[in-house]
Amino acid sequence: MSFDHFERFFLLSAIGLGLFLAGAVNLGFGRRGGRVWLRAVATLAVVALAAAARPEQAVRAGGILAGVLAAASLLGSAWFSRQLTALLACVRGPAVRWGMVGLSGLGVVLAGGLAFEMADNDQIERNMRDLDLVMGKPATQPSSRGRAATDRGTSIVLKEVAEEREPNSMSDAEGKLLRDSAVRDHVMRRSGPSDHANCHGWVFTGGKFFLGPDDVELILKENGYTEVHEPHAGDVTIYRQGGVVSHTAIVRYVSEGQPVMVEGKWGTLGVYLHPADKSFYGTDYTFHRSARSGHLLVGLGGTAGSGEPATATAE
């Protein structure tokens, strides 16, 4: 498994942003405004700004930007314009020239975002196939060991595995899966694999039962969760694939300038602490907060709140 599409996404975003800003800056000078040296300084400043957005990509992004902008500047030279046919004469106008640069920048940003999303989805699908192939997805059935409900009283069907496996037999498969993955250097194993619960059940049932994606959507709605953009320790992290909930975790550590650290159970694997964007579940995730105390369902130790969203949601 590789995270190379992250690098491609940031590289394309830096190039696209640089082209867009360079086009906007030069358009601002107008047809006659701004001497050549002033345009050059402003353009170079934009290149430096865009390239510095991700230092490790600065050389590549800066080189590509410089080449594209040099070509754009060349189009405005008298020597070059004399070589063009009448069809291309209009390109000498700053409005057309830098407008094209700006539009191409937006196109690159959009293409980069699309490519990133496609690569991310492909990677998640591969991860889940590998997970199912190595660990297997146990058959579940409704459990008679407990009852649970949302804060608004809607019953939640708790599930358990039909036949529980030995943890030792699962540990070897888990170890192999992690050794072959690119996230192995980013995760900390907190506990071993078990068939007691999946990730959703680990969060909302205290690790006692299995829950499904639809259960999570219902819990978010009826237990007063609201999406927040600045997470705090204790918030719930929801991962999605194709709009469907694929994983649930809890925010553990938030420090300025550091990645948000979340903890969750990976299916029937163990419980892992890791940066929010370094897991088998991709980067389509959101943070959610509720005014209630804890995340356990009513009937499993949870205390019913108002079922209304938390009031302090503006971040």
Residue with tokens 């599409």: 5
Q: What angle in degrees, to the nearest 10, is found between the helix axes of 167-179 and 94-135?
A: 150
Where helices occur in the chain by DSSP H, the ranges are 4-29, 36-51, 58-74, 78-83, 94-135, 167-179, 199-204, 213-222
73 pLDDT above the threshold of 80: no
Residues 68 and 154 in one domain: no
Residues 109 and 140 in one domain: no
Domain assignment present for 131: no
Among 90, 118, 146, the domain boundary falls at: 118
Domain assignment present for 46: yes
Residues 20 and 111 in one domain: yes
Q: Which residue has the higher pLDDT, 45 or 296?
A: 296
Pairing between β-strand 261-265 and β-strand 140-142 as defined by DSSP bridges: unpaired
Residues 180 and 265 in one domain: yes
Q: Which residue has the higher pLDDT, 146 or 52?
A: 146
Residues 114 and 245 in one domain: no
35 pLDDT above the threshold of 60: no
208 pLDDT above the threshold of 80: yes
306 pLDDT above the threshold of 80: no
Q: Which domain does 102 fall in, by range?
A: 4-118
57 pLDDT above the threshold of 60: no
Q: Which residue has the higher pLDDT, 174 or 313?
A: 174
Domain assignment present for 124: no
Q: What is the mean pLDDT of residues 57-65?
A: 63
Mean pLDDT of the chain: 79
pLDDT at 178 (0 to 100): 75
Domain assignment present for 307: no
Residues 103 and 185 in one domain: no
Among 75, 90, 118, the domain boundary falls at: 118
User: Backbone phi, then psi, for 22, in 5-degree steps?
Assistant: -65, -45
pLDDT at 31 (0 to 100): 58
Domain assignment present for 294: no
Number of domains in the chain: 2
pLDDT at 3 (0 to 100): 47
Among 86, 118, 150, the domain boundary falls at: 118
Q: Which of 160-174, 225-239, 255-269 has the lowest mean pLDDT?
A: 160-174
| Cα–Cα distance for residue pair 225/289, rounded to 1 Å | 5
Domain assignment present for 284: yes
Residues 193 and 247 in one domain: yes
Residues 92 and 142 in one domain: no
Residues 186 and 107 in one domain: no
Residues 145 and 279 in one domain: yes
User: Backbone phi, then psi, for 238, in 5-degree steps?
Assistant: -115, 120
Domain assignment present for 224: yes
Residues 284 and 143 in one domain: yes
Structure confidence at residue 102 as a pLDDT band (50, 70, 90): confident
The top-scoring range by mean pLDDT among 35-44, 93-102, 147-156 is 147-156
Residues 173 and 257 in one domain: yes
Domain assignment present for 219: yes
% pLDDT > 90, the chain: 35
229 pLDDT above the threshold of 80: yes
Structure confidence at residue 303 as a pLDDT band (50, 70, 90): confident
Prediction pTM value: 0.58
